[in-house]
Structure 1
Amino acid sequence: MDDEFRQRLEQRLGQLENRVALLERNQELIASGQRRSSLRSLWRRPPIWTFEQYPPRLLNLNVSPPAPAITGHAPRIAMVTPSYNHVQYLGATIESVVSQNYPNLTYHVQDGASIDGTVDLLKSLGDSVSWTSAPDKGQSNAINLGFAGADCEIMAYLNSDDMLLPGTLAHVANYFVSHPDVDVVYGHRVFIDREGLEVGRAVLPPHDGNALQYADYIPQETMFWRKRVWDRIGPIDESFHYAMDWDFIMRAQEAGFKFVRLPRFLACFRIHDAQKTASTYAVGVREMGILRRRVLGFDPTQMQIRRAIAPYLARQLAYHYAYRLGLLRY
């Protein structure tokens, strides 16, 4: 091999090495950009508010271990389901409550004069469920009507498209009995689609009262409270049609009641096209603005809201992936 040929070969090999190095660098930059994009996407849509996290799969009703049996006095629980034209989901909601077989439960469905077959469904249940079907002034009014005169120690409401998970009532009752200083509890949630298939899960970190002033992260369908909370702060504010649960929560927090996040999946939140959460979002934005101004004393910018809830969202992300990796079990 002559010197000229060797030089050309070495030059060519050097060019190839440079191209390979450049390609590797580009791949690193692309991967880095993808990671940053992925992180930005997670930040914009954290798992706690990302409903459809994976393809639909059969719902595992035993997502949490069996709750221990009630020992001694079973505190009386009053539950209300406000309903209007949700017959396709209402049966599953009712079944998820009555199948708990909780020994001291008052359960009432307050229907707003539905015309979709809801009344026929309720009639078919006989005496197993208390119900009323009559015109009302909206969801908040229906909840208050349902709780009128309730004689109980613990209260909760479950919307007509959501579901309790097995053992929830026993677990909540046991916790309240053993923790007399706690006033409000809530837990993890499962996202289901209109067919009842599971599409995601939300694992929450411990309660953060500061973050709650800027954003409502408490899954309403998992929340239970002592009647003393209701007696002191009053019923659901009927001027709210979207953020009524956040208003109730904030009034309870402002009154000094103690909140605890339970380390257990308690209920399922259903995602579907006719969902009130999606169809009245503009109303929700206005009502959430009203609540933030009332609680904070000013109207925070989106940047201020993001900064205020950033520590909570970071913890939620850590809990989410720790659960996904099997490091946390509930």
Structure 2
Amino acid sequence: MPPAPASMYGLCSLGTRWPSLGVAQPTRALLFVILCPVGAYFPGGSVTPVSLLADPTFIRAWVGGVGNYKLGGNYGPTVLVQQEARKQGCEQVLWLYGPDHQLTEVGTMNIFVYWTHEDGAEPWWEWLVTPPLNGVILPGVVRQSLLDLAQTWGEFRVAERTITMKQLLRALEEGRVREVFGSGTACQVCPVHRILYKDKNLHIPTMENGPELILRFQKELKEIQVSCRQPGNGPGASLIPRSPSLLAVWEVDYISREPLGHSSVGTWPGTPQGLLGVVEQLPPHRCLRCSAVRNQSPRVDVPGVMLQAVLHIHRPVASHHASTGLPTNDSPEVQY
């Protein structure tokens, strides 16, 4: 692994090895993985804003097609448009779709808009919006991570809905746009400061607003990546609660997912008494089921190797709460 702040980028590729000149379903394929040490995706680092070319003349994907899959056929036609964007002083292309010029995604990123709602009567004044998964955009992992994190915070409205250029233009004119940014595996969270649309340069006040939300997302993602901490809601249930909370732990067979004999309860940053020793002795097919009981976080089955690394990193102080009346192995708390 390269030293921080660089990282290792993994790229999986699947291609056919079927010896045929015809067009048909292949019977053989080659799967290979490329690992490469990388630094910042864009020159200047992760907080350097980029500019986007939004030209409705070009279409990347359409409903009923394969735009939501990472296929080579989706990227080949974009190379020429990317070159045109660079000629016009833009780093990337913001792909539009439909007669109303819907924002879909950037060349290597999903797109987010953080703005204030046009209706002051709305219970949530601030909104974080990203285009929906309608078959036109890729369901990015970082995209979902940002949605999960924002929903966990509960500080503003989070929505997946259509955004048109007309809506964005109006919001810019009314001073309601706070930040626009892209998200992706390579770039993580990347601010946008300019959009070239119909020969007009639209200034996006992302950097004038901090960019507070972007920096917060970057900090949270980095903490998760380097400390094995997982976000608090959604598919990645919280393994390490943000505040001390009761933590119930069961040893679980990784294949059958059936609870086994070990059950222990403790608090975080304290842990169940003797838990570290139990984790170190877990065989490969075992994992631990963790449930943060007090804050009602979802349960998560964690492979012993991962939990062992987390416990070593945080060096918790043992704390046992046998008389708290928390769930036992027979409790519904351990059921899915």
TM-score, normalisation: structure 2: 0.25
Q: Which has the higher helix share?
A: 1
Q: Which has the higher strand share?
A: 2
Question: Higher relative contact order at CA 8 Å, sep ≥6: structure 1 or structure 2?
Answer: 1
TM-score, normalisation: structure 1: 0.25
